[in-house]
Structure 1
Amino acid sequence: MAVSHLTAAAVGAGAALLTDRLRAAGALRTASLAGSTVAAPTAAAWVTDFLNAVYYAKEPENRHLDDLRLAFTVLTTYWNEHGSQRIGGSDVLRFHRAFGTARLRGTGGRTGTLDRAALLAGGATLFGPWFPAAAEDPSRLGWGIAFPSVAAKAEHDPEVRLASAQVGPLTPPRRPVEEQVWHTYPPVEVPDAGATAAALLAVEHWPEYASELGRFTPLRRRGLDGQTFEIEVVGFPSPKLPVFIRAYVTVQDLVTADAPDALARWVEEVRAGFASRPDELSPIPDDAEVHAGFDLVCHEGHFMGDAKNRLVLYSQGGRSYVRAAGTWDPMTWHLAEMYDRVGRWSQHAFWGMETPRQSMLHQLAEQVARGLAADGGGA
């Protein structure tokens, strides 16, 4: 039986002790939260329990990523509706009133779990009757928040969240190029290059591309170029002990077909870096038509250390793809140990090496396909 919100909240600042007990009981199968810009450490246990009830604690056949994204929307909307104050231990009482009965009924398949209908109904209890429709209306969704109106969304300032974030200085790779690690992840096919480019440029919708391993939330009052993202990535030090790892990246060197010379220079630099590494494929095939690319540069505290990741959107043979490629300095011993135990698998899966529901790029492709279908363009 999943643990209730109230039981999870009882620990307050002693969340770690409760987490150990829940783990021993098998209740925390896949997620633990140590605090974020939205949730304070005192809320970690019950927020974790809420996410488990919606997704992670369910049997695989009952897990739906749309439900997990909706659960995050509920949490972030609650934070926004309450003056952008971090969710705390006492807020569990409101969530228990909104979702407790549905959890007792086991709407998600077994006692303690929640399905989408219960999430929407609970959201209406928390926020008002406007929430269920807003949560499924792209024009009223942004930055992981559902808004009561399009006007309310237009008035939102994403830098409110930036003020609570711990964004240190940029830490790109610094070692000589020949000493750096360069790694390419598999290409992920997308249904349309133009629609995918538009989806990437619509930064406020990046949280809607979340996978079960993490999500990107934009923090700055600007478009993609120069945008800073807060990343929440789920790492797995052991099969039953995953954790959320929070980090920050900023977009640099955004290039598109509108500036062909800059695009050509960016492509040449990427290809040249991989040319001297015969054990790694270039992320940009020789016959590819590149539509856009950019670097995601890490900030201090990122689990990859001094690093950056590149995303490239290209077409080849009548099909279009988005692909990631990372470059990082050799890690210090403590980062290398954490990466080996927590980060490596999550990093690889997040960029497309495992199943689609674990990969943000696959989820981006799925959201693009949905948008095309909704617009009558097919998928």
Structure 2
Amino acid sequence: MTQHPPGDDRDSEDDLPDHLDDEDVEAQQRDVPRSGPLRFARMTGSSIAGRDAAPWVTDFLNAAYYRRAVGERDVDDLRFAFGVLTTYWYNKDTQRRLHLSDLVAFHKAFGSERFQTDRSARGTLSRGQLEEGAAKLLGDWFPEAYVDDARRGWGIGFATIADREAYNPERRRVLARMGELTPESAPLEEQTWHTYPPVRMPSAAAVIDALTRVETWPDYASEIGRFTPLRAGGLDGQTFEIEVAAGTDSGRPIFTRGYVTITALVTPDDPEALAAYFAALEDGLARYGKEEPRAVPLGGTPLVGFDLTTHQGHFMGNGHNRLLLYELDGVAWVKAAGTWDPMPWHIDRAYRIAGREAQHAFWGQGEVERLSMLHQLALQIAS
């Protein structure tokens, strides 16, 4: 089992780029809140978008997806829209966030189409309109490249395979400026231990192949959340930016983000570590969970487990989630199981108002496919 020190976020000032935009320079020149309500309030939207870009970025995503009637939504259209934003950011000459000044380019590419009511409802964009606008904004190559597995990765469409192979995810990590790791530290009996319903998968081998190719994680984004890897390399020690949307049914989503790092990973390559990891989890759930079911049902065979430990400012506070893969009667299942400290008042209030239902749905509770990343994973690897 691979583990990393709880206080090691693997960042240093040496990783910062030579040139940052005005917002980044300003951030370096003032004290960034290390914890508490101020830091929590800063964790809104996406690391690639500055605060002045938030209104038009949100409006673009609403037009592409959230403003549609629920029955007319296709999650892949939302992933495509995020792909347009992320590819545009990556292709800019300077390493900076999106800002209000970038609205002009997006308005030229997509603005008038939102009022073509013969092609989509007023104020929305159909998939065809998204593709046409993306071609204007990024180049004729983009729509075809985005649906090509060989030219898509990290939620970005690349003009060539060589361009994809040259991508450095560290570029986005520098903008993230995440805080230290914050694993749970309260007495065990005060922590929350919770498991989510398992989601059936086409095969264990397909799950392992998908999750170990971390550049594909944005392909499994749901209506309410997406994971983007921020480090070079594979699953072990990987850090993800999580972008979460609450209130999506209303068509007026609220966006926030958090960061997690994989601090433990067990596989059949180390049977003793695998057995110890799942034994400890089952013991914790039995001792401290409130009528929680087993992580792996009796008769099941655990295959893979890994911990996703929070960084400062995470919307769930201090703790870690686990993703677990097991087989039962020849069928592969994936489920999540989390352990969390009692939430500070500012996080608990936000969680109760806008986060609880989204968090549960994201990990499969309620079995609404468009909301759950695990259901989207199952759909994608089956296609």
The interval holding the TM-score normalised by the smaller chain is: 0.7 to 0.9
Tell me which residue corresponds to 1:173: 184
Moved more, 52-61 or 34-43: 34-43
Identify unmatched segments of 5+ residues in structure 2. Answer: 1-22, 24-42
Matched, 1:53 2:63: yes
Q: Give the conservation status (yes or no) of the 8 Å contact 1:236–1:341.
A: no
Match of 1:102 among 107, 110, 113: 113
1:241, distance to aligned residue in structure 2 (A) = 5.0
Matches within 5 A, 1:40-119: 40-83=50-93, 84-106=95-117, 109-119=120-130
Change (3 A) 1:235 1:201: same
Which amino acid in structure 1 is aligned with residue 103 of structure 2?
V
Contact 2:220 2:376 in 1 (8 A): yes
3-state SS of paired residue (2:348): helix
**Residue deviations 1:269-322 (CA, integer Å, cap 9, x gap):** 111111223511122112111111100000111121111001101110121110
Q: What is the distance in 2 between the residues matched to 1:260 and 1:336?
A: 38
Q: CA deviation at 1:239?
A: 4.8
Secondary structure at 1:153 match in 2: helix
What is the alpha-carbon distance in structure 2 between the residues aligned to residue 41 and residue 231 of structure 1? 17
Distance 1:176 1:232, change over 3 A: same
The aligned counterpart of 1:255 is 266
Q: Distance in 2 between matches of 1:315 and 1:56?
A: 36
In structure 2, relative to structure 1, the CA distance for the partners of 1:238 and 1:134 (3 Å cut) is closer
Alignment pair present for 1:349 and 2:361? yes
Match of 1:265 in 2: 276
Q: 1:214 to 1:180 in 2, by over 3 A?
A: same
Partner of 2:161: 150
Q: Distance in 1 between matches of 2:120 and 2:130?
A: 14
C-alpha separation in 2, matches of 1:109 and 1:35: 26
C-alpha distance in 1 between matches for 2:135 and 2:58: 21
* C-alpha separation in 1, matches of 2:241 and 2:120: 32
Q: Indicate the residue corresponding to 1:308 in structure 2.
A: 320
Paired residues of 2:197 and 2:365 also in contact (CA < 8 A): yes
- Provide the C-alpha distance between the structure 2 equivalents of 1:156 and 1:75, rounded to a whole number of angstroms: 16
Aligned counterpart, 1:159: 170
Query: What are the equivalent positions in structure 2 for 1:317-336 lying under 5 Å apart?
Result: 317-336=329-348
Distance 1:278 1:125, change over 3 A: closer
How far apart are residue 65 of structure 1 and its match? Answer: 0.5
Please state how far the C-alpha of 1:214 moved relative to its aligned partner: 1.0
- 4+ residue runs over 3 A deviation: 236-242
Q: TM-score, normalised by structure 1?
A: 0.86
Deviation at 1:215, TM superposition (A): 0.3
- Give, in whole Å, the separation in 2 of the partners of 1:34 and 1:275: 36
Pairs within 5 Å for 1:214-233: 214-233=225-244
Trace 1:174-213 onto structure 2 (pairs within 5 A): 174-213=185-224
Taking structure 1 as reference, are residues 143 and 108 closer, same or farther at Cα in structure 2, changes over 3 Å only? Answer: farther
Deviation by residue 1:79-121 (Cα, 9 ceiling, x = unmatched)? 0010342111121111111112322213663122111111111
| TM-score, normalised with respect to structure 2 | 0.85
Cα displacement (A) at 1:41:
1.3
Q: 2:378 corresponds to which residue?
A: 365
Amino acid paired to 2:47: T
Report SS of the residue matched to 2:323: strand
The answer on whether the counterparts of 1:167 and 1:299 sit within 8 Å (CA) in structure 2 is yes
Equivalent residues of 1:248, 1:298 under 8 A apart: yes
Matched AA of 1:106:
T
Q: Which 5+ residue runs of structure 1 have no aligned equivalent?
A: 1-12, 14-32, 371-379
Comparing 123-132 with 359-368, greater Cα deviation is found at: 123-132
| Distance across 1 between alignment mates of 2:67 and 2:160 | 33
CA contact (8 A) 1:250 1:297 kept: yes
Deviation at 1:181, TM superposition (A): 0.7
User: CA 1:202 to 1:192, structure 2 compared with 1: closer, same or farther past 3 Å?
Assistant: same
- What is the rounded CA distance, in whole Å, between the counterparts of 1:282 and 1:342 in structure 2? 28
Identity among equivalent positions (%) equals 51
RMSD: 1.8
User: Which amino acid in structure 1 is aligned with residue 302 of structure 2?
Assistant: V
Higher RCO by CA contacts (8 Å cutoff, separation 6 or greater)? 2
Instruction: Report how far residue 235 of structure 1 moved.
Output: 2.2
Query: Structure 1 residues 98 and 63, CA, compared in 2 at 3 Å: closer, same or farther?
Result: same
Is the contact between residue 45 and residue 257 of structure 2 (CA under 8 Å) also seen in structure 1? no
AA in 2 matched with 1:281: P
Contact residue 62 and residue 108 of structure 1 kept, 8 A: no
1:334 CA displacement: 2.0
Paired residue secondary structure (1:163)? helix
Partner secondary structure for residue 259 of structure 2: strand
Counterpart amino acid of 2:354?
V
